[in-house]
Amino acid sequence: MKMPTIKDIPTPSALFSSAHNHLSTSITNMAVPLDHEELWPQFEVSVQSVTDAFKKFEESVVAPTTKFVELAFERYPIISTFVSVFLILVSLPFLSFLGFIVFVVASTTFTSLCAAFVTSALIIGLYGTLLGMLIILLAALSVWISTSIMLGYLVWRLFILVRADGRAGVSQWSAETTKRFRRQRKETEEKRGRSSESVVLVKEEDKKSLPE
């Protein structure tokens, strides 16, 4: 009984060609609809491109590798056998090592991204809190400065009026201050009234524009 050799192993192109021929025969024997007949040339072109790719791969990679292995086993059978057994045995640890490297790199990258995200969130939250506290502090400082300026102006006006008119300047200052605050309050109320009137007018116009 003849032992099988490397030459007896079918090449990828031969396997693909036999499968293609079998598929073509099966489809030809079937009743193919019209739409499938129109698509058949495209299928033939795709199959031919894949067959050409397999042939190029066979000619450039498979055939030289097969010849090299045959020559190695013919000239150096012991060394070739040792190298083959060694490569088979070392493939599993080597693939395990590659898988471990991929796992370490992926886990490290994921951990680094999570740590960077958490750190960024903490830093942004800390600086956002500080910014909010600073804004509140500046708002309080603005109120204090505005009140101080207003009180300083009132005291300065009192000093000027008392210096000019004596005791009569106090009553004049009181009337002036009251008039100033009343005028400001009146302007504020007028603005509110105008805004409410405009809202009412808009609502009435909307009601008129609606179809009956």
In a domain, 111, yes or no: no
pLDDT at residue number 54: 76
User: Which of 56, 75, 94 is where one domain is finished?
Assistant: 75
In a domain, 186, yes or no: yes
pLDDT at residue number 95: 92
Indicate the pTM of the whole model.
Answer: 0.41
User: Domain span at residue 12?
Assistant: 6-75
Q: Which residues of 10-33 are buried (b: 16+ CB within 10 A; e: fewer)?
A: ebebeebbeeeeeeeeeeeeeeee
To the nearest 10°, the Cα dihedral for 116, 120, 123, 126? -130
In a domain, 155, yes or no: no
In a domain, 121, yes or no: no
Q: How far is CA 38 from CA 19, 34, 51, 94, 151, in A?
A: 22, 6, 21, 50, 95
In a domain, 93, yes or no: no
**Count of domains observed in the chain:** 2
In a domain, 19, yes or no: yes
Report CA 69 to chain centroid distance, whole Å: 50
In a domain, 198, yes or no: yes
55: CB partners within 8 A, 6+ apart: 13
How is residue 161 written in tokens?
A: 């009026």
User: Which of 75, 96, 129 is where one domain is finished?
Assistant: 75
What is residue 9's DSSP assignment?
S
- Residues 28 and 6: their CA atoms lie apart, in Å, by 34
User: Which of 31, 54, 75 is where one domain is finished?
Assistant: 75
Per-residue pLDDT of the chain (212 residues; tens, 9 = 90+): 444 454 555 555 555 555 555 555 555 554 444 455 566 677 777 777 788 787 887 777 777 888 888 888 888 888 888 888 888 898 889 999 999 999 999 999 999 999 999 999 999 999 999 999 999 999 999 999 999 998 998 889 888 888 887 778 788 888 888 887 777 777 677 667 666 655 555 555 555 555 55
In a domain, 98, yes or no: no
